[in-house]
Chains A and B, each alone.
Chain A
Amino acid sequence: MERVLVADDVTVRLGGKLILDGISFWIPKGEFVCLCGPNGAGKSTFLKTVLGIIEPTSGAISILGKPAGVAQRAVGYVPQRKTFDQDFPATALELIVANLRGKWPIRVHDAERERARAVLQRVGGEALIDKPLAGLSGGETQRVFLARALVTDPALIILDEPTAGVDVRGRQEFLDILWEISASDELAAILVTHNPAAIARCAERVVYIEKKLIAWGLPDELLGKSSLSAISYARTTRTPGGVIAPDED
């Protein structure tokens, strides 16, 4: 199975402080991974390293065989809801096209509009295309950001606690969309979440870190390890289907 992401002994020190210590694992094509760990475990730092924002102090991350910093177009990113400007005068269409072009659009071409419409339809948000971002609910906003991340046809999508701050209904609807993504054989994903329902519904594999890699495996395999009690809820509610085993080395 082709590996989309390979983390090879990744160590990150920031301001002299050890944040990540020798993290190694890989994600094959189409696999949906939930990245878990307590606050301060280094999850966000790991994501930033995958996105090429932070350089590892030692070790390396490669995406489709290229260093993380030069493979940014192969990675889609859905930020936490709080990290973007809710007051910016923009529509969903402009946001999606901005990711296609790498700059903010003044005028949107018909082909770009059609591509944005198609990707919004994929996440159940076709009606949002011309809506101002400021008027969207939390769940709608995250759908638009998911569409934005998908519009470049990435091989890997990174979701950084996308349902944090979203109401219960919006969260459930968003999880339904993520579950459909997790069924895809093409798109790999890393979901950072503390939400048990999200892990139970979507995870094909779980990576648990606390600076070091503590566990990496199928949700069912990780049960019974006391240090992983935080993710043991995956046992009872896992939706069947689509589990992909990693390659043997």
Chain B
Amino acid sequence: MIRAIMAGTAVGALCAVLGVFVVQRGLSFIGDGLAHAAFGGIALGLLLGASVSHATWVALPFTVLVSLGISFVLRRGRMRGDSATGVFFAVSFALGVLFLGLRPLSAPPVNVESVLFGSILAVGPQDLLVMGAVCVLVGLAMAITWTRLAYATFDPELAKLSGVPVERLDDMLLALTAVVIVVAVKTVGIALVSSFIVIPAATARMLGRSLHRVTLYAVLLGVGGAALGLLLSYHLNVASGATIILVMGAFFALGLVVKRR
């Protein structure tokens, strides 16, 4: 249970801090898109003979490549973010289905449910090590670039005129989001991971009057939602991933009430 709480809060914090920028840029759908791209990557790993756990190492570069593809299409400016994400989402998922179908009949069966919904209670020490490394990587990258990323999110053109390397930051944001999603799929699954990105950030957006406060609130909501959801699911003996999302959804509803007042 302690490992599950550590994993859940790490994923909650990572997704929230990236989610602030993703949501503010109107790219909320990208979490879903990259999660489904991760499915394509995991399926490719399985086709190559890896276990579900080791297939993550194939999904990682696959999903990062998809994120850079979306970033490239967005930069060309001829397609809206949701359309670009939708195309990559569908193609990656279709590839995943194709890869699974191409596996030999003798291959061991895959627990699709664990890929779709995660298995946070089955997180092992090695998974925690990987998450710790990703936490350090993403935390450092975001701490170093936060002020420039914020400026580029406000207005890319003005930021560029002030010398901010907007394109490189765009690529970095989507690539880090891809990395975090692939790591998070193990714990919360493909179907629910985008909620970790969108809900805390959207709730914090209603409460904060400056971007750094929004970021702080989002992290607190992500970590708090994950911890409270896990504890509730443990005591009520219900699905952990779904309970976490429902707790985050309740925070969002409370945020709406607070905002109205």
Indicate if B209 sits at the interface (CB-CB under 8 A): yes
Interface of chain B residues 195 through 230 with chain A (CB within 8 A): 205, 208-214
A153 nearest CB across to chain B (Å): 15
The one of B148, B162, B210 that contacts A89, using a Cβ cutoff of 8 Å: B210
In the bound complex, how far is the Cα of B160 from the Cα of A72, in angstroms?
10
- Check A104/B163 contact, CB under 8 A, given A79-B155, A88-B211: no
Indicate if B99 sits at the interface (CB-CB under 8 A): no
Indicate if A35 sits at the interface (CB-CB under 8 A): no
A179 nearest CB across to chain B (Å): 25
In the bound complex, how far is the Cα of B146 from the Cα of A87, in angstroms?
19
Contact check, A103 vs B161: say whether CB atoms are below 8 A apart. Answer: no
A77 neighbours in B (Cβ, 8 Å): 158, 161
Indicate if A98 sits at the interface (CB-CB under 8 A): yes
A91 neighbours in B (Cβ, 8 Å): 209-210
Number of interface residues of A (CB under 8 A): 26
A152 nearest CB across to chain B (Å): 9
The one of B151, B212, B213, B214 that contacts A98, using a Cβ cutoff of 8 Å: B151
Contact with A along B143-177 (1 / 0, CB 8 A): 00011101101110110111110000000000000
Interface of chain A residues 58 through 109 with chain B (CB within 8 A): 72, 75, 77, 79, 83-85, 87-91, 94-95, 98-99, 101-106
Contact check, A79 vs B157: say whether CB atoms are below 8 A apart. Answer: yes
Contact check, B211 vs A90: say whether CB atoms are below 8 A apart. Answer: yes
In the bound complex, how far is the Cα of B211 from the Cα of A102, in angstroms?
16
A106 neighbours in B (Cβ, 8 Å): 146-147, 212
The one of B157, B163, B214 that contacts A53, using a Cβ cutoff of 8 Å: B157
Indicate if B24 sits at the interface (CB-CB under 8 A): yes
Contact check, A88 vs B24: say whether CB atoms are below 8 A apart. Answer: yes
Contact check, A94 vs B210: say whether CB atoms are below 8 A apart. Answer: yes
A101 neighbours in B (Cβ, 8 Å): 147
Please give me the residue from chain B that is nearest to A99 by CB atom. B162
Contact check, B154 vs A102: say whether CB atoms are below 8 A apart. Answer: no
- Check A98/B211 contact, CB under 8 A, given A53-B157, A88-B153, A104-B154: no
Please give me the residue from chain B that is nearest to A88 by CB atom. B154
Indicate if A132 sits at the interface (CB-CB under 8 A): yes
A155 nearest CB across to chain B (Å): 15
B7 nearest CB across to chain A (Å): 29
In the bound complex, how far is the Cα of B86 from the Cα of A122, in angstroms?
47
A198 neighbours in B (Cβ, 8 Å): none
Contact check, A84 vs B154: say whether CB atoms are below 8 A apart. Answer: yes
- Check A104/B158 contact, CB under 8 A, given A88-B24, A89-B205: no
A53 neighbours in B (Cβ, 8 Å): 157, 160-161
A98 neighbours in B (Cβ, 8 Å): 151, 154, 162
The one of B154, B163, B164, B213 that contacts A85, using a Cβ cutoff of 8 Å: B154
B57 nearest CB across to chain A (Å): 35
The one of A72, A83, A87, A132 that contacts B163, using a Cβ cutoff of 8 Å: A72
Contact check, A104 vs B161: say whether CB atoms are below 8 A apart. Answer: no
Indicate if A51 sits at the interface (CB-CB under 8 A): yes
In the bound complex, how far is the Cα of B209 from the Cα of A101, in angstroms?
21
Contact check, A102 vs B163: say whether CB atoms are below 8 A apart. Answer: yes
Contact check, A103 vs B154: say whether CB atoms are below 8 A apart. Answer: no
- Check A103/B147 contact, CB under 8 A, given A88-B154, A88-B211, A89-B205: yes
- Check A103/B153 contact, CB under 8 A, given A89-B205, A89-B208, A89-B214: no
Please give me the residue from chain A that is nearest to B163 by CB atom. A102
B161 neighbours in A (Cβ, 8 Å): 51-53, 72, 75, 77
B211 neighbours in A (Cβ, 8 Å): 88-90, 104
Contact check, A104 vs B147: say whether CB atoms are below 8 A apart. Answer: yes
Contact check, A84 vs B210: say whether CB atoms are below 8 A apart. Answer: no
- Check A103/B151 contact, CB under 8 A, given A89-B211, A89-B214, A90-B210: yes
Please give me the residue from chain B that is nearest to A105 by CB atom. B147
In the bound complex, how far is the Cα of B208 from the Cα of A75, in angstroms?
33
A84 neighbours in B (Cβ, 8 Å): 154-155, 158
B43 nearest CB across to chain A (Å): 37
A79 neighbours in B (Cβ, 8 Å): 155, 157-158
Q: Would you give 30 A-B contacts (Cβ < 8 Å), ordered by A? A: A51-B161, A53-B157, A53-B160, A53-B161, A75-B161, A79-B157, A79-B158, A83-B155, A83-B157, A84-B155, A85-B153, A87-B24, A88-B153, A88-B211, A89-B209, A89-B210, A89-B214, A90-B154, A90-B211, A95-B154, A99-B158, A102-B151, A102-B163, A102-B164, A103-B150, A103-B151, A103-B162, A103-B164, A104-B211, A106-B212
Contacts A77-B158, A104-B154 known; list 4 others, CB within 8 Å: A101-B147, A102-B163, A103-B151, A103-B164
> Would you list the 3 A-B pairs with minimal beta carbon distance, nearest first?
A104-B150, A103-B147, A102-B162
